[in-house]
Amino acid sequence: MKKSVLLKGPLLTRSGYGEQTRFALRALKSRQDLFDIFIQPINWGATSWMIESSEERHWIDQTIEKTIGYIQQGGKFDISVQVTIPLEWENLAIKNIGYTAGIETTMASHTWIEKGNHMDNIIVVSTHSKQTFADIHYDAINTQTNEQVKLKLTTPVKVANYPVKSYENIEELDLPLDYDFNFLVIAQFGPRKNLHNTIKWFVEEFYNDEVGLIVKSNIAKNCLLDRSRLSADLNRMMQSYSDKKCKVYLIHGDMTDAEIHSLYAHPKVKAFLALPHGEGFGLPIFEAAYSGIPVVATGWSGQLDFLVDETGMEQFYNVAFDLNTVQENVVWENVIIKDSKWAFPREQSAKQKMRLCYNQYATDDVEAAKVVDAVKYSKVLKERFSEEKMYANFIEGMDVDEEEFNVESWIDSLDIEEIE
């Protein structure tokens, strides 16, 4: 018999957690022989909601209506999958599964550990997140015995990475790019993504070169006011480099998945640049890597799951870093802990790796020696992170006993006797 599964998360938002919820939904839909799916969409901060017409969106809208009716009739759920930070996990079903990406530092709060211990299973998007959960512990007092104990996570944690996406016949975006070689960065303009230093170091390194940097970004929302603020900030930043030859371009606003992938496929986008302090997974970095363009990135946190191959070989231009305490202005109660650490990319290393990538990929000689064969490695990623494999990983992470779903097994388990 099918199990009723409630998927709660920011399914319809243009956010990292929105993308994560959509992946969870597609994984569940891959096993509709096992699950009767229900959906509870939630907001995610100030991010906008997706407005689109598609077969998947039609199915989602119908399922939300079904969920409302089911709850109004007093329906209960066998399983809940809750896609959010652990602080918001709760008891919604017989079996509760927390699914999070939100560990970009070296620590998780004690509240996350306490909430996690009330879940039956936890799924995370990277080995970094799993290891952080496993390593952290706090001194605590047992309220019943007054004994000092170690507060640690006891709930099983599994990793389910994102799958690659496939888009055929992508239309080329009409971008007013002056030069043939451009780096691309996709990141919100905030402290964790380190975008200010990323732009500054690029301009300083390529000051007199015919090289561009495309910045797809926002501050909080994809609205006109946000664009105006961000554009003003970047213009002020560029005033110190008024005679530079290199170019910086801003792309702001909502883009579909297909349009984002058309950025990676643009003939003048030659490399991807990412110098964050920490990532739960690093989805744009992953998309760039499997799209076949070389990646220059900080060598720490979630992105190592796909930037390092299964033999342990680095398949990216690895920017060195120092692991230091997070800045005071980013401390966020129960989310980013005061004493936690994350990576601070080294300026000189970042500039050296950008320059090395440019020197190796600016040439038209396909046989030229390169640190990374991005096109060849993209084929490896497409096989290793296929939808089929990643959906199966997610279902495995839910730790459900498929025997419970087998009708024949269920009938065999019944105590049936013949009445004469």
Which band of pLDDT confidence, cut at 50, 70 and 90, is reported for residue 285?
A: very high
Mean pLDDT of all residues in 338-357: 97
DSSP of 18-68: HHHHHHHHHHHHTTTTTEEEEEEE---TTPPBP----HHHHHHHHHHHHHH
Shared domain check, 192 and 129: no
Q: Does residue 276 fall inside a structural domain?
A: yes
Note whether 359 and 396 are same-domain residues: no
Same domain, 214 and 147: no
The reply to whether 312 and 190 lie within a common domain is yes
- pTM attached to this predicted model: 0.92
CB 78 within 8 A of CB 97: no
Is residue 245, in this structure, part of any structural domain at all?
yes
What mean pLDDT is reported for the chain?
A: 92
Structure tokens at 233: 């900030």
The answer to the question of residue 279 being in a domain is: yes
Which has the higher per-residue pLDDT, 49 or 339? Answer: 339
Confidence check: pLDDT of 132 > 90: yes
Residue 303 vs residues 274, 278, 402: alpha-carbon distances, Å: 10, 9, 32
Residue 409: pLDDT band by 50, 70, 90 thresholds?
very low
Q: How many domains is the chain built from?
A: 2
Asked whether residue 250 is domain-assigned, the answer is yes
Give residue 390's domain range.
Answer: 3-162+386-409
Among the residues of 332-373, which ranges form H helices?
347-361
- CATH number of 82's domain: 3.40.50.11930
**92 and 13, same structural domain?**
yes
Q: Is the CB of residue 221 less than 8 Å from the CB of residue 45?
A: no
Question: Does 279 score more than 80 pLDDT?
Answer: yes
pLDDT score at 415: 52
Residue 106 has pLDDT above 90, yes or no: yes
Name the DSSP letter for residue 336.
B
Question: What is the mean pLDDT of the segment spanning 224-244?
Answer: 89
Domain for residue 121, yes or no? yes
Q: Are residues 247 and 366 in the same domain?
A: yes
Q: What is the DSSP letter of 361?
A: H
**Which range among 103-112, 143-152, 181-190, 276-285 shows the weakest confidence by mean pLDDT?**
143-152
CA distances from 328 to 62, 70, 339, 340 (A): 45, 46, 10, 11
